Structure 1
Amino acid sequence: MDKHLLLVHAHPDDESIGQGATMAKYVAEGVGVTLVTCTGGEMGEILVPEMEHMAADKDDTLADQRKIELDNAMKELGVTDHRYLGGFKRYRDSGMKWHEDGHAIPDDTIHENAFWHADLTEAANDLVAVIREVRPQVLVTYDEFGGYGHPDHIQAHRVATYAASLAAVPSYRRDLGEHHDIPKIYWGAMSESRLRAGLRLLRDAGDTTTFEGMDPDGPLPPFVTADENLSAMIDGTAYHQQKMAALAAHATQITTDGPFFALSNNVGETAWGLEFYRIAKGERGPLNEDGLETDLFAGL
């Protein structure tokens, strides 16, 4: 079996944060890896002062810069097949704002070409063509809330889920390729116990600013998953440095003195080298002592 993994993400940098180590690991093992990014990330916050002119309310050229950053990040991970849904700039970053309850919601003003406004079937068809071309055994995307409520993450979940269903129908849009049923679908996840342990180490070391407001013993944001709901854990600690290099490549969005690197420095390779998943379709293969798969292709 020629193994192939397909990942569907909303913006450049989401892939490196969520599954950078997994991607690097599978590439190193000879597995085909395809990344589909749904938007150009036009509405992202710019952390580099000299690039602030690229913002949406100024030159509106951030997508071009983030494309370069994504290219560089994929080189760090070894991923050679990465695409934009429907082509570069087909769908625009929808932006977001924060709800008082601490999760993201759609902004008051959204661009007419925003991904959030995309026709679901039209966007899904763009992905159906990719699915039928690369014929993955495993698809990874977000949960139904997009992790923390970002409209583009939610839309990516919807598009990926619908496209996977449509792609499997033999009589549906034959012009998009021969039908293909993806055996296993996963949602990216973050382990509650791992995050609490990491936060505890940070707070014990006197760091109160990394993931500010999060209490190791208190309530956590919606992107955190209770361990009982986890299905798989990929040990990508051997590829931890590649993941951190990919994160650093997204320079307008992630700083090396930010929370991802602070947690990594304090907790070590397991902070971001261990990546977790919830299974949404398919049967799990053999489990480890923690009741988790250690290979997303297990059982196929």
Structure 2
Amino acid sequence: MRRLLSVHAHPDDESSKGAGTMARYAAEGAQVTVVSCTGGESGDVLNEAFADTVHAARDMAGLRRVEMRRAQEALGIDHIWLGYVDSGLPDEGEPVRPLSFATIPVEVSGRPLVRIIRRLRPQVVVTYDERGGYPHPDHIRCHEITMWAIEHAASDASPELGEPWAVSKVYYDRMSSSDKVEAYLADYELHDPESDRIERIREMAEWMRDRTPRVTTRVDVSDHLDARDAALRAHASQVAPDTPYFFWPHDVVRRAWPTEDYELVRSTVGETLPETDLFAGIDEE
């Protein structure tokens, strides 16, 4: 069986980064598991239209768990909480919340992830790059503990955490790029040149200019856009109906850029790049 582990900082990250990929592989029979390193309890309500503000004010941690469960069901995946406290996003010069995820030593916070890797035995792990995708302290620490845990899980160290397991392939999420926005702009100019969206897309393209991360692997998710959107909407306190995630109609996505994109950063099975499958080169078990 193919087994994919995707490690994220907060609940809702899994739905904005690679949700279509996870829905596709789950639908194809793979074991797909998301690890959320924190509970997202330091987050605010980001959706002005969110109705259950009483629940959010009383129990943000509990609300985020309810939302994560709904997203999990939408994608058809398994989910594990790593159990650390959301560090929040402090203002420049302000300290990170004491005893939160970003303050825990990697060799401590990475141990439960080692246990998870050794128990689930994923061939493929997906996470963020060393910048965290964006400089949130929990995203950066998510990258750090994931890479540490992958190395540690393959070694003979800490036998109490399970039998060693070597992950075959490690990918970084590369969902955002100027090339993608340019492709959407070209599609609008061709198919809907009178659209009132075009000027906004041109502004987006200018703002995104030269943001071209290395991409080795493009996974077609055109048949799983509804599941991706349902997972995003499940995080109702965080994802507003007018969020840019919903800006692109599905027909435009399918024509212009129907893939979710990744960078292969480690492989024990060789490389034949570019790829269209995260499991390329991995034998079925």
* Band of TM-score, shorter chain: 0.7 to 0.9
* Equivalent in the alignment of 1:71: 69
CA distance, structure 2, for counterparts of residue 238 and residue 23 of structure 1: 12
Give deviations 1:149-192, integer Å, cap 9, x for gaps: 1111110000000000000102x010100001111000000243
Q: What is the number of residues matched between the two proteins?
A: 274
CA distance, structure 2, for counterparts of residue 152 and residue 253 of structure 1: 17
Partner amino acid for 1:67? R
CA distance, structure 1, for counterparts of residue 140 and residue 256 of structure 2: 25
* Root-mean-square deviation over aligned CA pairs: 2.6
Q: CA 1:108/1:50 → structure 2, altered by over 3 Å: closer, same or farther?
A: farther
* Equivalent in the alignment of 2:88: 95
Residue 124 in structure 1 maps to residue 123 in structure 2? no
Instruction: Select 1:235's aligned residue among 190, 211, 220.
Output: 220
SS at match of 1:161: helix
Give deviations 1:26-81, integer Å, cap 9, x for gaps: 011111111100011112230245444556xx54x2121111111101111111x2
SS at match of 2:174: strand
Instruction: Select 2:97's aligned residue among 111, 115, 136.
Output: 111
CA distance, structure 2, for counterparts of residue 84 and residue 271 of structure 1: 35
Q: TM-score, normalised by structure 1?
A: 0.82
Residue 176 in structure 1 maps to residue 161 in structure 2? yes
Partner amino acid for 2:278? L
Partner amino acid for 2:16? I
The runs of 5 or more residues in structure 1 that have no matched partner are 99-104
Give deviations 1:205-250, integer Å, cap 9, x for gaps: 3348978x954135559xx543xx1110110110111101111111
CA distance, structure 2, for counterparts of residue 199 and residue 141 of structure 1: 29
CA distance, structure 2, for counterparts of residue 187 and residue 112 of structure 1: 28
Residue 8 in structure 1 maps to residue 15 in structure 2? no
Q: TM-score, normalised by structure 2?
A: 0.86
- Matched-pair contact (CA < 8 Å) for 2:42–2:86: yes
The runs of 5 or more residues in structure 2 that have no matched partner are none
* Equivalent in the alignment of 1:189: 174
* Equivalent in the alignment of 1:206: 196
Shift of 1:198: 2.9
Kindly report which structure 2 residues correspond to 1:34-53, keeping only aligned pairs within 5 A, or say none. 34-46=33-45, 47=47, 48-53=49-54
Give deviations 1:128-163, integer Å, cap 9, x for gaps: 000000001100000100111111111000000000
CA distance, structure 2, for counterparts of residue 296 and residue 9 of structure 1: 17
CA distance, structure 1, for counterparts of residue 43 and residue 188 of structure 2: 27
Residue 157 in structure 1 maps to residue 147 in structure 2? no
Q: CA 1:214/1:200 → structure 2, altered by over 3 Å: closer, same or farther?
A: farther
* Equivalent in the alignment of 1:268: 253
